[in-house]
């Protein structure tokens, strides 16, 4: 009779107790989701809508505080515009009335002497009150007489072209010159008559000195 075979020894692996299962690590709490910052476009839209919603009073206040615009200055006339000459309030006055009003003293006597001398040399010359003073004209203004407080001015439109003694004529303009007479005795025919003759000749030849060529 066969002996029963011995029961095999349990293997080390079977005899060892199985290691207890490791506890699973607790799940980490997920961090709360951060809300994304508002986009700039959304912020701009919100600001714009807020501005639109501002009360109408704000606009009215802004209009009230805005200073009124100053009126634009008057435009200067263009270079090609025609200038209108000013008319003297004395224009058309009689010569004697002018002398009585403007030169009642010795100046009046000097003016009468100058008028008489000029009429003698240029009898066809026209004399009238123009630009506030007596003016002789032949084809345009030629000679003027102007009373002043301390002297009488005897002037020539084309004075710069006259042949006169040195120092006799005054003025530094392009055209006009004058003589200052400080008394009636200063109205000397031998000194002034040659100037009158030249002035008459120049105006007859060249015409109106006030017109541009």
Q: What is the mean pLDDT of each run of 10 residues along the chain (213 residues)?
A: 47 44 51 49 48 49 55 53 56 90 95 98 96 96 96 97 95 94 97 98 96 73
**pTM, entire model:** 0.59
Distance CA 156, CA 177 (A): 6
Distance CA 87, CA 208 (A): 18
Contact 196, 117 (CB under 8 A): yes
CA-based end-to-end distance of the chain: 168
pLDDT computed for residue 70 by the predictor: 62
Distance CA 187, CA 118 (A): 11
SS3 content of the chain, % helix, strand, coil (to 5): 35, 15, 50
Domain boundaries, the chain: 95-206
Class of CATH domain 95-206 = alpha beta
Backbone angles phi, psi at 84, to 5 degrees: -95, 120
Strand pairing class (133-137; 152-156) = unpaired
Distance CA 122, CA 105 (A): 26
């Amino acid at each position: 009779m066969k002996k029963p075979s011995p029961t095999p020894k349990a293997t080390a692996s079977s005899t060892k107790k199985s290691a207890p299962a490791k506890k699973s690590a607790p799940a980490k709490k997920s961090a709360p989701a951060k809300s994304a910052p508002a986009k700039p476009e959304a912020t701009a839209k919100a600001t714009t809508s807020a501005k639109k919603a501002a009360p109408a009073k704000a606009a009215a206040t802004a209009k009230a505080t805005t200073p009124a615009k100053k009126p634009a200055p008057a435009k200067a006339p263009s270079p090609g515009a025609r200038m209108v000459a000013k008319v003297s309030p004395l224009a058309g006055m009689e010569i004697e009335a002018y002398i009585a009003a403007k030169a009642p003293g010795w100046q009046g006597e000097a003016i009468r002497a100058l008028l008489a001398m000029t009429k003698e040399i240029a009898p066809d010359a026209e004399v009238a009150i123009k630009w506030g003073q007596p003016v002789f004209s032949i084809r345009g203004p030629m000679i003027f007489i102007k009373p002043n407080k301390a002297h009488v001015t005897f002037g020539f439109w084309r004075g710069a072209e006259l042949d006169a003694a040195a120092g006799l004529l005054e003025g530094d303009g392009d055209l006009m010159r004058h003589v200052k007479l400080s008394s009636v005795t200063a109205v000397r025919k031998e000194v002034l008559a040659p100037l009158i003759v030249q002035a008459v000749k120049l105006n007859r030849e060249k015409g109106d000195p006030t017109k541009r060529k």
